[in-house]
């Protein structure tokens, strides 16, 4: 049984309980050998009594102790004492990712991707050591006070001794992979799936699958299609969406092959968030027979035409007899047999030649039509690439950029808009009330399905606002706070997007989507573009971290900024005299002349002198309490000089032991409070009458000084 103040392993003093989980409790402790604070994870009693589980726990903890990585909560020690099984880990002061998400509702895609990269690097280090976490979730990811992201709970991971691992389902069902939910095969790709679910929650503020029971949620992981995070937050870039969906594929073979591949795509998404570079694995299709597409047929035809033109331009035509002679002379290993004539191949060659001829004719006709289109009625050419100085190949390629209009009727608005964006088309949405079609579903488009339309065109969609649509109010020109309050008060969701504006002051709404006056479904997301002010007035904040105070001041002045308050603090990460803090982060934009407050490191803080209290409190003496009756209960309150209450209890047994460590004060005061009770008595008054005097109860106290000793 763990108690506050007890020592484990002759070195770890338990200070306070800081967390609990399904298998263990976590305590803050102090290591007296190395004079540092640590976290001690203690296996719960019901698991400690299972010898098989304890053996597994010890092996896995020892394997985790071999992991040393900046993005992993490092394990220092593993031990057992009097039936208490424990792991000693690095103590990280910070907040779990779960609480961080709850605090911010949801994270921006850049912040979510940055966190995911650090988590992936920690998991990659574990996978390289054949350790699978199997319980990746926001509760097991800690963001320290200095912004570092660390993965914890590798103590319950399984050390892989081969390339296959089978295990029972572990971890939270909201983040478990389909193969874990089935209780079957589990490997590194299970961690990739769980990380994908964690990214989904960071981006949207919710988990993709929920239900009334754990079984219901597990079945959804196995059977239901993974929703796109863009359904909940349309502003998520396409590349980030693709990464999440690839991580969360039902089949492990369709996910990322390893963490290194995932990290590469995550970094790429920060640089090119809208680029379609995420390759979806489809092992079922790689070796299967499939129908050739129209696009591939066209590509084959184009290659045939180019090959035909090349042969006509570069090589003389060879007679079949010449070709036979050439092969006979070059093939020294030939046994002297004549060239084997293949009539089937000749038919194929003839067919390809006919197709090539037809394609060439079509190209000539198209070019002729374009030439005549460019001529005026009087026969003069209105425009030509030569006259305008434009490259003819570029002009024709631009004119040929047409795409077929997809069928978006019946789709959700965001799905329809995403489909159009993928084709390079823009969209505008208007809403109308409908008793038949669900709110947020596209009713019609102003372009016929299958029509060829130029890339960059705007397609106007009409969508259902439901039976009782809500009018979108006009908030353009208002401050963002006013606009947000007005929209949320009417039941709309609000997304903020920032942009520079030469005409609208910073903090005011430049535009809104949907526009004012539209009738939309209740709860529709309204995107507000908020002005950052004029771009030319903004100055980019330089990176002052790690510079001397003089160099940092010069950097700020050069950027047309200034240094504000300068303070000097202890900091172990930066050498003495170097800037260790700046009030505006590097890369942000501020007004010209803005003052940046900085902190300059005084070097590592010298070891603080700490004290311990090993007092044996004796019963009140006659000098301290003449009327105290031995065996009577008293209240003890020990307060250190810094105001910390170390002891507050009642006891009648003496001496009373008080042991405390890591104290910042050199002494404290003990206040002893006790009660004195007198019995009732009788007396005779001046008239000879008998009078009863009631008993009394008085509360008294005295103070003792207790000096502590240095550790």
CB burial of 85-106 (b: ≥16 within 10 Å; e: otherwise) equals: bbbbbbbbebebbbebbeeeeb
Residue 280: closest CA among 206, 234, 226, 230: 226
Residue partners of 552: CB distance under 8 A and separation at least 6: 544, 563, 579, 582, 598
Dist CA 271 CA 482 (whole Å):
34
β-pairing, 141-144 with 149-151? Answer: antiparallel
Dist CA 499 CA 532 (whole Å):
6
Name the phi and psi angles at 618, rounded to 5: -90, 165
Instruction: Look up residue 121 and give its two tokens.
Output: 């690097």
Dist CA 456 CA 445 (whole Å):
16
Torsion (CA) 441, 444, 447, 449 in degrees, nearest 10: 80
β-pairing, 470-471 with 84-90? Answer: unpaired
DSSP state of 441: B
Beta bridge partners of 508: 479
Instruction: Look up residue 198 and give its two tokens.
Output: 């964690």
Question: In three state form, how does the secondary structure of 543-609 look?
Answer: CCCCCEHHHHHHHHHHCCCEEEEEEEECCCCCCCCEEEEECCCCCCEEECCCEEEEEEECCCCCCCC
> Which residues are part of the catalytic machinery?
135
Dist CA 115 CA 112 (whole Å):
5
Beta bridge partners of 460: 428
Q: How far is CA 543 from the centre of its chain?
A: 25
Beta bridge partners of 1: none
Sign of CA dihedral 187, 188, 189, 192: positive
Check if the beta carbon of residue 420 is closer than 8 Å to that of residue 413. Answer: no
Residue 28: closest CA among 97, 95, 93, 98: 93
């Amino acid at each position: 049984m763990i108690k506050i103040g007890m020592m484990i392993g002759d070195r770890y003093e338990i200070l306070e309980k800081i967390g609990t989980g399904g298998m263990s409790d976590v305590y803050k402790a102090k290591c007296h050998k190395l004079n540092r604070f640590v976290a001690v994870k203690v296996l719960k009693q019901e698991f400690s009594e299972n010898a098989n589980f304890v053996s597994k726990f010890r092996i896995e903890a020892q394997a985790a102790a071999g992991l040393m990585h900046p993005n992993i909560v490092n394990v220092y020690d593993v031990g057992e004492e009097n039936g208490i099984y424990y792991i000693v880990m690095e103590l990280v002061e910070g907040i779990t990712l779960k609480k961080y998400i709850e605090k911010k509702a949801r994270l921006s895609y850049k912040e979510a991707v940055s966190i995911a990269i650090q988590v992936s690097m920690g998991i990659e280090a574990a996978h390289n050591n054949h350790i699978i976490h199997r319980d990746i979730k926001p509760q097991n990811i800690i963001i320290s006070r200095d912004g570092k992201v660390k993965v914890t709970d590798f103590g319950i991971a399984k050390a892989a001794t081969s390339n296959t691992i089978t295990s029972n389902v572990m971890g939270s069902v909201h983040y478990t992979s389909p193969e874990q939910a089935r209780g079957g095969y589990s490997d590194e790709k299970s961690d990739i799936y769980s990380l994908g679910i964690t990214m989904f929650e960071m981006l949207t503020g919710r988990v993709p699958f929920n239900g009334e029971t754990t079984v219901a949620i597990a079945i959804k992981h196995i059977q239901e299609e993974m929703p796109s995070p863009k359904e909940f937050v349309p502003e998520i870039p396409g590349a980030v969406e693709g990464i999440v969906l690839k991580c969360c594929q039902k089949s492990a073979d369709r996910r990322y092959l390893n963490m290194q591949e995932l990290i590469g795509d995550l970094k790429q998404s920060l640089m090119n968030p809208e680029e379609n570079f995420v390759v979806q694995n489809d092992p079922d299709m790689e070796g299967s027979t499939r129908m050739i597409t129209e696009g591939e047929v066209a590509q084959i035809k184009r290659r045939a035409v180019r090959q035909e033109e090349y042969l006509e331009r570069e090589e003389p035509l060879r007679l079949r007899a010449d070709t036979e002679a050439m092969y006979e002379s070059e093939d020294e290993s030939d046994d002297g047999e004549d060239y084997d004539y293949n009539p089937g191949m000749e038919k194929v060659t003839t067919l390809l030649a006919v197709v090539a001829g037809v394609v060439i004719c079509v190209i000539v006709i198209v070019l002729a039509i374009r030439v005549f289109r460019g001529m005026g009625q009087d026969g003069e050419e209105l425009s030509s690439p030569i006259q305008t100085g434009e490259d003819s190949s570029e002009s024709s390629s631009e004119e040929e950029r047409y795409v077929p209009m997809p069928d978006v009727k019946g789709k959700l608005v965001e799905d329809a808009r995403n489909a159009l964006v993928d084709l390079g088309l823009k969209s505008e949405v208007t809403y109308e009330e409908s008793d038949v079609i669900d709110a947020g579903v596209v009713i019609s488009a102003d372009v016929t399905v299958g029509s060829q339309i130029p890339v960059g065109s705007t397609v106007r969609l009409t969508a259902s606002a439901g039976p009782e649509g809500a009018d979108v109010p006009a908030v353009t020109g208002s401050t963002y706070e006013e606009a947000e309050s007005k929209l949320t008060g009417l039941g709309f969701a609000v997304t903020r997007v920032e942009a520079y504006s030469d005409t609208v002051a910073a903090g005011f709404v430049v535009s809104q989507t949907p526009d004012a006056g539209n009738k939309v479904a209740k709860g529709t997301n309204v995107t507000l573009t908020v002005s950052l002010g004029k771009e030319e007035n903004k100055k980019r904040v330089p990176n002052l971290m790690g510079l001397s105070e003089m160099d940092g001041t010069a950097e700020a002045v050069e950027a047309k900024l200034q240094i504000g308050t300068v303070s000097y603090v202890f900091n172990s990460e930066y050498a003495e005299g170097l800037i260790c803090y700046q009030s505006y982060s590097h890369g942000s934009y501020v007004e010209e002349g803005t003052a940046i407050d900085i902190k300059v490191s005084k070097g590592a803080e010298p070891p603080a002198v700490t004290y311990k209290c090993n007092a044996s409190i004796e019963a009140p003496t006659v000098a301290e309490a003449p009327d105290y009756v031995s065996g009577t209960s008293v209240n003890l309150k020990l307060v250190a000089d810094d105001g910390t209450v170390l002891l507050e209890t009642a006891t009648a047994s003496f001496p009373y032991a008080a042991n405390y460590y890591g104290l910042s004060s050199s002494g404290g005061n003990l206040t002893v409070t006790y009660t004195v009770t007198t019995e009732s008595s009788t007396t005779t008054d001046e008239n000879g009458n008998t009078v009863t005097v009631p008993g009394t109860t008085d509360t008294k106290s005295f103070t003792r000084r207790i000096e502590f000793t240095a550790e």
